[in-house]
């Protein structure tokens, strides 16, 4: 009963909030509110035997339709000459099944035309397309190259950034330093948060397009998998450069990133370092833009078995030490010498479950963890891919995209796949992107 009242109060609160907002004289300014939006819909087909990571999404093996479905609504409002508000609501078809999220929500203070200071919820400009990665209409591919855009489990942050534009002749240099933290959020199936991150993004705009360079350092990124309870804490450093150029009808887009993740609390596994890059070449023919992309991601990691991690977590539990205390010395020794064998003993199982240290389903999973290497995708992967694509400007603000992709996991890695993929995975995608 109490619960329902609370719910009801929440509802009333919403209603009051509404009436307050409705009473605000938003109409006073000229052109007070602008609404824009973007949407994508599509389907994927091919050898999708395993789910895979693409950017900050997981594309499921059953996501024939819906993987690229996205809707964004943006509200822009001028508070006065120097202050404006921008909010962007985003809902996506992958994983979180269309729950609505405030992707951007910031106040922009712009005392001069070349300076803008923004505070609120912002999006990290890790890579060239990161800030508008959900706006499919803004780039040629169905999805940005996954080797470069995956493995960075950070998107929106709460903080402040500055955009300063220096005019150099007819060219512009845009300097964008930022700092902030990531409040608890969900990303690639993990619950992620960070303490503090700082970064600097610089973009040089000139006749043929633009060049950019970005550095970022984040401390205390903690991630945990809500389904298994396993987690990690890491510091991350990234350096990226990129170019987006047009020479007549020729389009050249290329990016490179070097990243380092240092983990703590996940012994003996401590570091992932990797690099990734891609080159896209395209040629504009009226409303068509055929393009080809070569992409590669190569991450090195101290190998560690998932079983070691799971056992490590179990033995670190204070309840486990208490439970050990109840065992005979021989039993303790057996458990330490061959945990898997000991764990298959029904008496030990009952004891562990009884003490609330593990659940029956976790117990069941232990033997299967032995063969698995940690960390799995998306942080560590070795993969290359070739993508052939065609973008067609069907109508104004409407683009159709058709893409064929061959993905090859390298060496022992599963690439960006969640389970072991075939030698060469072939995918075809169709996407329609619009803006309004």
Q: Maximum CA pair distance of the chain? A: 82
Is 252 a binding residue for another protein by CB under 8 A? The answer is no
Is 211 a binding residue for another protein by CB under 8 A? The answer is no
Q: How far is the CB of 304 from another protein (least distance, A)?
A: 26
DSSP for 294-356? EEEEEEEE--EEHHHHHHHHHHHSHHHHHHHHTS-HHHHHHHHH-HHHHHTSHHHHHHHHHTT
Q: Which two tokens stand for residue 107?
A: 């106040």
Q: Which of residues 2-21 bind another protein (CB under 8 A)?
A: 3-5, 7-8, 10-11, 14, 17-18, 21
Q: How many residues bind another protein (CB under 8 A)?
A: 96
| Closer residue to another protein (CB): 106 or 381 | 106
Residues in the chain: 436
Give how far Cα 93 sits from Cα of 50, 77, 98, 134, 315, Å.
Answer: 18, 28, 5, 11, 39
Q: Which two tokens stand for residue 144?
A: 């940005």
Is 224 a binding residue for another protein by CB under 8 A? The answer is no
Using the rule CB under 8 A, give the single segment among 180-188, 214-222, 258-266, 371-379 that binds another protein. Answer: 180-188
Strand 101-112 versus strand 83-92 pairing type:
antiparallel
Element (H, E) at 418: none
Q: How far is the CB of 384 from another protein (least distance, A)?
A: 27
Is 108 a binding residue for another protein by CB under 8 A? The answer is yes
Using the rule CB under 8 A, give the single segment among 189-197, 331-339, 378-386, 397-405 that binds another protein. Answer: 397-405
Q: Which of residues 295-354 bind another protein (CB under 8 A)?
A: none
- Name which position in 45, 62, 333, 419 contacts another protein (CB under 8 A): 62
- Residue 436: CA count within 13 A, CB half-sphere: 7
Alpha carbons 322 and 293: distance in angstroms, whole number: 56
Is 283 a binding residue for another protein by CB under 8 A? The answer is no
DSSP for 269-300? --EEEEEEEEEEEEE-BTTEEEEEEEEEEEEE
For residue 375, what are the contacts with CB-CB under 8 A and spacing of at least 6?
232, 269, 272, 301
- Name which position in 47, 49, 114, 267 contacts another protein (CB under 8 A): 114
Alpha carbons 220 and 236: distance in angstroms, whole number: 8
- Name which position in 46, 79, 101, 241 contacts another protein (CB under 8 A): 101
Q: How far is the CB of 101 from another protein (least distance, A)?
A: 7
| Closer residue to another protein (CB): 3 or 412 | 3
Per-residue x/- track, 365-384, another protein (CB under 8 A)? --------------------
Is 111 a binding residue for another protein by CB under 8 A? The answer is no
- Name which position in 49, 83, 99, 268 contacts another protein (CB under 8 A): 99
| Closer residue to another protein (CB): 75 or 304 | 75
Q: Which of residues 144-173 bind another protein (CB under 8 A)?
A: 163, 167, 170, 172
Using the rule CB under 8 A, give the single segment among 26-34, 270-278, 298-306, 343-351 that binds another protein. Answer: 26-34
- Name which position in 45, 326, 333, 364 contacts another protein (CB under 8 A): 364
| Closer residue to another protein (CB): 215 or 353 | 353
Cβ atoms 378, 150 nearer than 8 A: yes
Q: Which two tokens stand for residue 143?
A: 């999805």
Burial 272-309 (b: 16+ CB within 10 A, else e): bebbbbbbbebebeeeebbbebbbbbbbebeebebbbb
Q: Which two tokens stand for residue 408?
A: 């090859």
Give how far Cα 38 sits from Cα of 94, 156, 279, 394, Å.
Answer: 16, 18, 26, 16
Is 39 a binding residue for another protein by CB under 8 A? The answer is yes
| Closer residue to another protein (CB): 96 or 302 | 96
- Name which position in 45, 49, 65, 422 contacts another protein (CB under 8 A): 65
Is 216 a binding residue for another protein by CB under 8 A? The answer is no
């Amino acid at each position: 009963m109490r619960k329902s009242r609370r719910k009801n109060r929440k509802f009333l609160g919403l209603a009051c909030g509404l009436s307050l907002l409705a009473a605000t004289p938003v109409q006073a300014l000229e052109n007070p509110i602008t609404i824009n939006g973007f949407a994508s819909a599509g389907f994927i087909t091919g050898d999708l035997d395993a789910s895979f990571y693409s950017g900050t999404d997981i594309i499921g093996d059953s996501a024939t339709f819906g993987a690229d479905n996205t809707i964004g609504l943006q509200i822009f409002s001028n508070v006065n000459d120097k202050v404006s508000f921008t909010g962007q609501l985003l809902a996506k078809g992958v994983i979180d099944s269309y729950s609505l999220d405030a992707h951007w929500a910031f106040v922009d203070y712009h005392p001069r035309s070349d300076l803008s200071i923004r505070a609120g919820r912002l999006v990290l400009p890790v890579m060239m397309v990161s800030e508008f990665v959900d706006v499919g209409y803004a780039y040629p591919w169905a999805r940005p190259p996954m080797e470069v855009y995956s493995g960075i489990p950070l998107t929106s942050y709460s903080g402040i950034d500055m955009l300063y534009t220096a005019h150099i002749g007819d060219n512009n240099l845009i300097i964008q330093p930022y700092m902030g933290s990531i409040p608890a959020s969900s990303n690639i199936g993990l619950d992620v948060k960070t303490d503090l991150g700082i970064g600097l993004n610089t973009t040089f705009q000139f006749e043929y397009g633009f060049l950019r360079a970005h550095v970022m350092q984040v401390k205390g990124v903690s991630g945990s998998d809500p389904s298994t309870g396993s987690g990690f804490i890491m510091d991350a450093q990234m350096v990226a450069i990129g170019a987006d150029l047009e020479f007549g009808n020729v389009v050249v887009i290329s990016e490179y990133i070097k990243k380092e993740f240092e983990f703590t609390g996940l012994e003996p596994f401590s570091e992932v370092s990797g690099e990734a890059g891609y080159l896209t070449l395209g040629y504009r023919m009226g409303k068509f833009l055929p393009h080809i992309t070569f992409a590669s991601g190569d991450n090195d990691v101290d190998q560690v078995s998932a079983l070691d991690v799971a056992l490590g977590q179990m033995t670190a539990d204070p309840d486990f030490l208490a439970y050990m205390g109840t065992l005979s010395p021989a039993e303790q020794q057996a458990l330490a010498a061959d945990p898997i064998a000991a764990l298959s003993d029904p008496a030990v199982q009952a004891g562990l479950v009884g003490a609330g240290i593990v659940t029956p389903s976790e117990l069941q999973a232990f033997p299967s963890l032995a063969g698995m290497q940690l960390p799995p995708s998306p942080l560590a992967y070795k993969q290359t891919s070739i993508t052939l694509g065609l973008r067609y400007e069907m109508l104004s603000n409407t683009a159709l995209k058709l893409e064929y992709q061959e993905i090859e996991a390298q060496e022992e890695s599963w690439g960006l796949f969640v389970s072991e993929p075939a030698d060469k995975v072939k995918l075809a995608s169709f996407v329609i992107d619009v803006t309004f």
